[in-house]
Structure 1
């Protein structure tokens, strides 16, 4: 299988490099951020480290959408939710009827946009419990020891088919450790409700995950947020693939495992970019209201993150 990565950011680099190096498949990267492309060309590839150590250059093929003439079997999409619609519109001439697409982006809202360009049964969804940091153009840091990668996969529509099976095999060979689920929405929302705790709270207080878990009240805070999210999902008829208790317990285990990691929402926040909170806590709150249930804490957290975004302007005054 040949893959085209749309979005050479933290996770795009992670998936593309691991597929290229571990699964020995052909990978092309499509990027629209000019400094990123230029840096990769200047240094002969992307700088890759793991937990801040053993940095080395991995040669890659990287193109703008307008310069690309390849025909991958599968597109892998990793863009910020706010950027995705414009990105897909720019990439549309590269899409063909025989291609599949996989995405494991944070939040919710991307699959509906992707479905405007691909048949529903050619879309593979995923979630990734994989921490990665983009230090700057052409410079990425894989967080966590080798073998710690964890992800789920599911079809957006239809049953698992030969192409989906081949993608899963390549992801296994790449050491991304995929687990299959037949519960698409339950899979997606299980990651969203996790991020609604760790990403949002770490961002507001500018904490690494290890610092966050030191607070003795984290379990109580997580329980309140998870209970609200699960209640909203139940009213919407969505059964999450993790139990409430498993989600609560995972906050501690994942935070300890990635104790030096700043979640992706904080990475956006600290660099002055808009966060994806509307697609995480905001999505849960919207889902609740659509089913006559008010997620008061998630609504409040969404406002808090936006307030923190606004207050950045005064830090440099």
Structure 2
């Protein structure tokens, strides 16, 4: 397959590099200039696994404006707040026969993709795959090869030949895909998972294993899960996991699969980037209001993450001010 990885951060690189290893033709697209500069200077991206085995993998990376190829599929791994800009800047490359696939976190991206791609050309998915971008031009695949899992489903819930070929390539790359038959339920299941794991770990700056060892883990998780499942029930959204299975999945990821991992939301905040909490906890709270249900805990957590962001920015500004004052005195 010929693929364009739109958004070449941690997850875009992991998917793209591993799919390229299976013989697929992959071009990476990104807008972060330090990242582009590093990749061009190095001739590729440095890949590690669990901080070890750092080696250079040759890749082609371009800006949206520089991309003029005709891929079978565009694979979107941008942040929710970045997607509209990427789509606008890449519109010149979109053609009716092309497909769009995404495993982005949160909700809100499907409606944006529908402005450029037909419903029968959109494939959605979710991924439980831990990956870190330590800096420009390098990526760290967390966990042993084949660690993690993913679900996927076409928007029209009718897998065609292209969808089946994508499934085959993802399976060969050891992403362990499962084809589901409920598009919205599949995507919302990951949103609910992230509404617990990403938000709590972010506001308290915790690794997943640290959160999992907290004696009150089950209580905190159940409060958020119960609200999310109640909201989805009112919206007639059928999640692919039961409440009990979801709690067990959270526990397993904390204790077994990814105990040393910081979720992507925390990675964003730690690098002074906006988080996607409004597209996760905030989305659940907003959906609840639509159906006359007030998700108090989801609302509170949304604002608590924003408070953590705000506090971090204040501390940064104070450090910069102190450093500036110190420079003036020393000067």
TM-score by length of 1: 0.98
- Partners of 2:65 and 2:191 lie apart in 1 by 33
Q: Are 2:11 and 1:15 equivalent residues in the alignment?
A: no
Q: Which residue of structure 2 lines up, in the alignment, with residue 163 of structure 1?
A: 162
Give the secondary-structure state (helix, strand or coil) at the position aligned to 2:241: coil
- Partners of 2:120 and 2:53 lie apart in 1 by 40
- Partners of 1:44 and 1:234 lie apart in 2 by 50
- Partners of 1:68 and 1:107 lie apart in 2 by 26
Q: Which residue of structure 2 lines up, in the alignment, with residue 69 of structure 1?
A: 68
Q: Which residue of structure 2 lines up, in the alignment, with residue 297 of structure 1?
A: 297
- Partners of 1:299 and 1:53 lie apart in 2 by 40
Q: Which residue of structure 1 lines up, in the alignment, with residue 285 of structure 2?
A: 285
- Partners of 1:69 and 1:79 lie apart in 2 by 19
Q: Which residue of structure 1 lines up, in the alignment, with residue 226 of structure 2?
A: 227
After TM superposition, give the deviation of residue 212 of structure 1 in Å: 1.1
After TM superposition, give the deviation of residue 106 of structure 1 in Å: 0.3
Give the secondary-structure state (helix, strand or coil) at the position aligned to 1:75: strand
Give the secondary-structure state (helix, strand or coil) at the position aligned to 1:293: coil
Q: Which residue of structure 2 lines up, in the alignment, with residue 251 of structure 1?
A: 250
2:157 touches 2:182 (CA, 8 Å); kept in 1?
A: no
- Partners of 1:264 and 1:144 lie apart in 2 by 15
Give the secondary-structure state (helix, strand or coil) at the position aligned to 2:213: coil
Give the secondary-structure state (helix, strand or coil) at the position aligned to 2:134: strand
Q: Which residue of structure 2 lines up, in the alignment, with residue 188 of structure 1?
A: 187
Superposition RMSD in Å: 0.9
Q: Once structures 1 and 2 are overlaid, which stretch shifts more, 155-164 or 104-113?
A: 155-164
Runs of 4+ in 1 over 4 A off after TM superposition: none
Q: Deviations over 1:31-54 (max 9, x none)?
A: 111111110111111011111111
- Partners of 2:313 and 2:142 lie apart in 1 by 30
- Partners of 1:223 and 1:66 lie apart in 2 by 45
- Structure 1 unaligned regions, length at least 5: none
Give the secondary-structure state (helix, strand or coil) at the position aligned to 1:127: strand
After TM superposition, give the deviation of residue 158 of structure 1 in Å: 4.8
Q: Deviations over 1:46-86 (max 9, x none)?
A: 01111111111110111112222211100100101111111
After TM superposition, give the deviation of residue 91 of structure 1 in Å: 0.6
Q: Which residue of structure 1 lines up, in the alignment, with residue 142 of structure 2?
A: 143
Q: Which residue of structure 2 lines up, in the alignment, with residue 211 of structure 1?
A: 210
- Partners of 1:149 and 1:298 lie apart in 2 by 26
Q: Are 2:312 and 1:309 equivalent residues in the alignment?
A: no
- Structure 2 unaligned regions, length at least 5: 319-331
- Partners of 2:269 and 2:31 lie apart in 1 by 21
Equivalent residue pairs, number = 316
Give the secondary-structure state (helix, strand or coil) at the position aligned to 2:259: coil
Give the secondary-structure state (helix, strand or coil) at the position aligned to 1:278: helix
Matching of residues 26-175 of structure 1 within 5 Å = 26-175=25-174
Q: Deviations over 1:221-254 (max 9, x none)?
A: 1011101100000000011000100111111110
Give the secondary-structure state (helix, strand or coil) at the position aligned to 1:35: helix
Structure of larger gyration radius: 2
- Partners of 1:274 and 1:158 lie apart in 2 by 33
- Partners of 1:75 and 1:86 lie apart in 2 by 15
Q: Once structures 1 and 2 are overlaid, which stretch shifts more, 10-19 or 23-32?
A: 23-32
